[in-house]
Amino acid sequence: MNKAKSIFIVLFLILINLSLLHVATLSWHSPLGAGWVGVFVLALPNFYLFVWMFMGRRARTSRNLHLLMATNLMGIALVLTDPGMEADPWPLVIGNLIFFGSIAYVFWYSHLGERNNALLNEGEKLAAFDLKTLDGDVFSSEQFKGSAWLLIFYRGNWCPLCMTQIREVAGRYIDLDRLGVKVALISPQPEVKTQELAKRFNVPMTFFVDAEFKASKKLNIVGESGVPFGLKWFGHGEDTVLPTVLLINQHGRIVYSDQTSNYRVRPEPDQFLEVARQKLRGAEG
């Protein structure tokens, strides 16, 4: 199923981009009929959604993207009421592909499955696992003890919402530091990709590589075939990690856990900052 998702997202992005290009080309030669206008109305908001995510404005969207769904309905209505449908069926074909592709993206592709991982519940001790530092050293999760840590398991540099989430945390680093919270950013992506990412930030966050998915497997958060198809040719693997945010106290006990079931829905920094204010100082081992 995840393999199908990795192929779907690439094909859907190609579809909306080619559709916009084709509509733009047609509009240069003659006025657009209702069907092609409908294709434009369908493709443009979907295109903008991905542009907006890559612009890094926010690390989250609404779960069901109601505004996008409303414009999808407007677009498909124009396509279906096109009086020239019999002479030119392509708007109907392309319009339906975009319409149902958008629905699939929102309600199928974005959904990570129901996550109820007992290992990550609040109050649990963090399971033991090993990570790799950017210096090539082995770092045991036992070494987290003695300080409070915010652990962010992110999918990779290719994920725009992950990158925005990291920038948000970097922007609140002073607030976290005042509360005695250190930040660990963990990804199973190749070490060279994590090194590239670490160079972008001047705040003292610690980047780790989850080599061979040792930590992800221990915590049961491996996202099999979660990397979009084709990115392995750009130095990425096929598997990734399910986006997860944990806040642990100085004893290694989880005091906050976000196991999002939708990759577009991420916690606001204020959520774990408030937990840190309330729970860390009085947390017991």
For strand 138-140 and strand 130-133, is the pairing parallel, antiparallel, or unpaired? antiparallel
Domains defined along the chain, listed by start: 2-109 (no CATH), 118-280 (3.40.30.10)
Q: What is the pLDDT along the chain (285 residues), one digit of tens a residue?
A: 789 999 999 999 999 999 999 999 998 888 889 999 999 999 999 999 999 999 988 999 999 999 999 999 999 999 999 998 888 999 999 999 999 999 999 999 999 988 889 999 999 999 999 999 999 999 999 999 999 999 999 999 999 999 999 999 999 999 999 999 999 999 999 999 999 999 998 888 999 999 999 999 999 999 999 999 999 888 888 999 999 999 999 999 999 999 999 999 999 999 999 999 998 865 444
pLDDT of residue 281: 65
- Tell me the CA distances in angstroms from 53 to 7, 16, 131, one per residue in order: 19, 16, 29
pLDDT of residue 199: 93
| Strand 181-187 to 148-153 pairing | parallel
Give the HSE-up count for residue 70: Cα atoms under 13 Å, Cβ half-sphere. Answer: 3
pLDDT number for residue 86? 85
Cα–Cα distance between 187 and 208 in angstroms, integer? 7
- State the maximum Cα–Cα separation within the chain, in Å, rounded to a whole number: 73
- How many other CB atoms sit within 10 Å of the CB of residue 285? 9
Query: What secondary structure, in 3-state letters, does 180-191 show?
Result: CEEEEEEECCCH
